């Protein structure tokens, strides 16, 4: 009999209960005990939902208060030395995630670095290692969680991140390879597995998504040695989970490892099944991820059953597990909560709860025959047909315009060197100009006003008047603080992607389709279901209004086509490249209208361009070609004197710096504060020709940086970049912070820039 399985599920709860509890704990509005009670209830609800759906292998330990990699850091005793280990576990845990600051106690500790989890919009905490790193086993969380499930009637398979993936995700702070630490780490994993087995676990899921990457031979050897040892650690079945891509050259390695079952992502890479079936050892079980764990479209049962039946005929049903492609962390919880979606579109979708049911239906069809689920198969076939044939999806005019894109549409009139001269004269900005990335605090008042407007308690006029007051307050604050290039604060925007999607054809929106981005931060991705076009100007009126309030330069703020694509649930019935270029044309129209309205600087944010990079290097250039072209199409319609900015954050740029240069933005702002300007190295080694705003303070933490701290980071930047290249700005937008944090941080930033500007004007060398 084939098993049904799930790899993991979202942690926030159907109504974002964890977000509210965690943030309440940070604000000291609830106790640590209350926080843990909320966490317990979410886990119990998740286990019940999976059991009710008929899932055989239910995960435990996939829940996290913040991030699963941070959990692993704690589990293996890899807490960096700068954190006070004498404080409570929760204080220590959140200090690593968010930093820690207490002036009265003299505590000022920065957070750990954060970056994207493979090619998703989920962010993880980057492990920090040093030569000779010692590890120690702390299996309390996975063991306690397993026992909690068992006490409440749920037999689960504990989930842990595998040791090789954990090491490969980390960074050595003093040189060397993270894999050199494996001999110290392996005994810790053996102990953790042994403790889980003693607790009664029959299965353990070990996630090794690094197996889908292009691995050096040393990593392949490490996998062999590691799993030979772990297989002997205890009498327990190991399900080795890979996901997000094709195993390709690592397939033979993965199949050779002494584990009970191997999970394959057949949504991203259905072609790997044929080779896996041909090469699988006679006793290996294959877990087949046929349900898309990263998108919200209803599964095509006919296609999935063909893959499952092929596997069952070759292996036998008892060697097949039916599962989603990856953890359902990346999908919203429950489609049943969407009461405002029209019935046709809703019938095309499946959220996590519905995907669990899809897994069970497919397992039942495989085990008992299609007649046992005849009704479900028929309804599914009708939904698939309805979506394919719907007139809502296709717009001939949009398709024709996309097909008519020329190379000239992706090229600025003059090269950057000439544009720089023209822009310097037109803009008249000082050396080391200061600016922010775009958004200002979305306060309780702003969110309340938006909610009242949506409920009809505020009229459009009343809401607009409120937004105008917030915008003017923000403009006046920036003028007072001495910021050189202003932004309007984006108070009219709920989200940097959703706001634009609401004004584009081909998009739909959910009410409760939240997914975790990092920590307590949730996003609600739009659904791109059809051809995309602009209904009309989207930002022009607010930009014009903001510019009318000041004589200083006001930036127009847009989200770029690649980011809108990456941070949406994208239609899967045409190549992503086509959808991206449709969005690019819509943004191009907006850029042209902003320029006509007198906006001299336009920022087109592309924080997701690195995130979209395929996991196999051989696929990079094809993606980068259309991604870079899409950005250039969106930006290239303007005159030379109009300055184009872009922003990217929490990404490694070394491998694609040439492609970033090809984007030809006049100014790029990047995250560098958490890495202490380390991410700037790529731009330096490449001799990046355009202007750069290396983020000088981390907005993802409540810490308020001192002027000296910002100065030191700028001095590091001045050691490797010319002063006329550098802009001064935070790491990212300020919407998640409060004014009490923002004001002193920005004022310190401006003062640091002024001090260094004075040194440079006086002929001094601003040294670190």
**Burial classification of residue 712, based on how many CB atoms lie within 10 Å of its CB (0-12 exposed, 13-18 middle, 19 or more buried):** middle
**CA distance to 30, 265, 373, 620, per residue, from 214 (Å):** 45, 16, 41, 12
Residue 595 in contact with residue 642, Cβ under 8 Å?
Answer: yes
Contact 163, 193 (CB under 8 A): no
End-to-end CA distance of the chain: 66
Residue 259 contacts residue 157 (beta carbons within 8 Å): no
Token pair of 625, please?
């070609």
DSSP structure class, residue 108: E
Q: What is the DSSP string of 25-69?
A: HHTTSS-HHHHHHHHHHHHHHHHHHHHHHT-SBEEES---SS-HH
Tokens standing for residue 641: 């004197």
The active-site residue out of 263, 330, 488, 700 is: 700
CB 63 within 8 A of CB 10: no
CA dist 303 and 291 (Å) reads 11
CB of 703 closer than 8 Å to CB of 744: no
* Residues 655/686, Cβ–Cβ less than 8 Å: no
The H or E element containing residue 693 is strand 691-694
| H runs (alpha helix) in 521-575 | 540-548, 561-566
SS3 call for 526:
coil
Closest by Cα among 125, 147, 146, 238 to 189: 238
Contact between residue 152 and residue 158 where contact means Cβ atoms under 8 Å apart: no
CA count, 13 A, side-chain hemisphere, 411: 6
Give the Cα separation of 651 and 664 in Å (integer).
18
H or E stretch at 516: strand 515-518
Cα separation of 411 and 636, whole Å? 5
Q: In Å, what is the CA distance from 320 to each residue of 80, 126, 362, 664?
A: 42, 34, 12, 50
Residues 6+ apart with CB under 8 A from 237: 202, 203, 204, 260, 261
What backbone phi and psi angles, to 5 degrees, belong to 594? -65, -45
Active site residue 488: no
Between CA 8 and CA 5 the distance in angstroms is 9
Alpha helices by DSSP H, 120-271: 140-151, 163-169, 182-198, 217-230, 251-256
Q: What is the CA radius of gyration of the chain?
A: 26
Residue of 222, 232, 211, 209 lying closest to 183 (CA atoms)? 222
Q: Is the separation of the CB atoms in 380 and 354 below 8 Å?
A: no
Which residues have C-beta within 8 Å of that of residue 26, sequence separation ≥ 6? 94, 98, 702
- Four-point Cα dihedral 575, 578, 583, 588, nearest 10: 150
d(CA 578, CA 492): 29
Alpha carbon distance 645, 604 (integer Å): 6
| DSSP H helices in 482-619 | 498-501, 540-548, 561-566, 576-596
Residues classed as catalytic: 700
């Amino acid at each position: 009999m084939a098993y049904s399985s799930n790899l993991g599920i979202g942690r926030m709860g159907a109504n974002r209960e964890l977000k509210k509890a965690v943030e309440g704990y940070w604000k000291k509005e609830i106790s640590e005990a209350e926080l843990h009670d909320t966490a317990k209830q979410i886990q119990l609800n998740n286990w019940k939902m999976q059991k009710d759906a008929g899932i055989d292998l239910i995960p435990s330990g996939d829940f996290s208060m913040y991030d699963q990699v941070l959990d692993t850091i704690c589990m293996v005793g890899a807490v960096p030395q700068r954190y006070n280990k004498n404080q409570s576990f929760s204080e220590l845990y959140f200090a690593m995630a968010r930093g820690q600051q207490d002036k009265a106690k003299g505590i000022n500790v920065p957070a750990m670095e954060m970056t994207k989890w493979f090619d998703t919009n989920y962010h993880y905490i980057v492990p920090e290692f040093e030569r000779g790193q010692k590890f120690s086993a702390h299996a309390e969380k996975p063991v306690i969680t397993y026992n909690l499930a068992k006490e409440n009637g749920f037999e689960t398979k504990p989930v842990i991140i595998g040791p090789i993936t954990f090491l490969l995700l980390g960074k050595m702070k003093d040189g060397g390879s993270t894999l050199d630490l494996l001999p110290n780490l392996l005994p810790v994993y053996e102990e953790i597995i042994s403790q889980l087995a003693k607790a009664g676990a029959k299965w353990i899921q070990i996630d090794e998504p690094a197996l889908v990457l292009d691995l050096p031979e040393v990593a392949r050897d490490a996998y062999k040695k590691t799993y030979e040892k772990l297989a002997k650690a205890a009498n327990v079945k190991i399900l080795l989970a890979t996901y997000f891509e094709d195993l390709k050259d690592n397939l033979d390695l993965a199949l050779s490892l002494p584990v009970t079952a191997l999970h394959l992502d057949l949504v991203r890479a259905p072609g790997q099944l044929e080779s896996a079936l041909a090469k699988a050892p006679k006793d290996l079980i294959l877990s087949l991820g046929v349900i898309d764990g990263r998108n919200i479209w209803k599964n095509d049962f006919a296609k999935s059953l063909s893959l499952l039946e092929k596997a069952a005929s070759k292996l036998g049903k008892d060697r097949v597990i039916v599962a989603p492609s990856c953890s359902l962390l990346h999908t919203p919880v429950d489609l049943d909560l969407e009461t405002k979606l029209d019935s046709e579109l809703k019938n095309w979708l499946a959220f996590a709860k519905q995907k669990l049911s899809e897994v069970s239906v497919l397992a039942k069809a495989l085990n008992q025959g299609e007649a046992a689920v005849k009704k479900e198969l028929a309804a599914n076939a009708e939904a698939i047909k309805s979506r394919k044939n719907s007139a809502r999806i296709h717009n001939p005019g949009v398709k024709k315009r996309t097909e008519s894109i020329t190379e000239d549409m992706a090229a600025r009139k003059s090269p950057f060197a000439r544009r720089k001269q023209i822009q310097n004269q037109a803009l008249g900005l000082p050396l080391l100009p200061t600016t922010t990335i775009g958004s200002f605090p979305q306060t309780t008042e702003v969110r309340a006003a938006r909610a009242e407007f949506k409920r009809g308690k505020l009229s459009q006029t009343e809401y607009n008047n409120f937004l105008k007051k917030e915008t003017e307050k923000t403009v006046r604050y920036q003028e007072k603080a001495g910021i050189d290039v202003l932004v309007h604060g984006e108070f009219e925007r709920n989200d940097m992607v959703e706001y634009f999607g609401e004004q584009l054809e081909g998009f739909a929106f959910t009410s409760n389709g939240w997914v975790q981005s990092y920590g307590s931060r949730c996003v609600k991705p739009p659904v791109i279901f059809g051809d995309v076009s602009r209904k009309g100007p989207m930002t022009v009126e607010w930009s014009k209004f903001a510019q009318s309030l000041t004589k200083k330069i006001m930036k127009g703020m847009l989200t770029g086509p690649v980011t809108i694509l990456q941070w949406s649930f994208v239609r899967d019935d045409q190549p992503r490249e086509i959808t991206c270029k449709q969005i690019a044309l819509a943004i191009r129209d907006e850029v042209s209208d902003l320029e006509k309205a007198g906006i001299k600087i336009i920022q087109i944010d592309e924080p997701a361009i690195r995130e979209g990079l395929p996991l196999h290097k051989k696929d990079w250039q094809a993606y980068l070609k259309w991604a870079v072209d899409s950005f250039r199409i969106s930006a290239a319609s303007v005159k030379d004197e109009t300055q184009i900015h872009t922003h990217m954050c929490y990404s490694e740029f070394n491998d694609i710096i040439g492609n970033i240069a090809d984007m030809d933005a006049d100014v790029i702002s990047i995250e560098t504060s958490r890495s202490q300007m380390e991410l700037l190295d790529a731009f330096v080694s490449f001799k990046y020709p355009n202007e750069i705003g290396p983020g000088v303070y981390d907005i993802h933490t409540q810490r308020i940086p001192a002027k000296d701290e910002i100065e030191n980071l700028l001095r590091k930047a001045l050691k490797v970049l010319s002063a006329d290249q550098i802009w001064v700005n935070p790491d990212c937008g300020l919407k998640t912070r409060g004014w009490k944090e923002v004001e002193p941080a920005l004022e310190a930033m401006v003062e640091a820039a002024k001090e260094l500007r004075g040194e440079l004007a006086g002929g001094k060398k601003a040294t670190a």
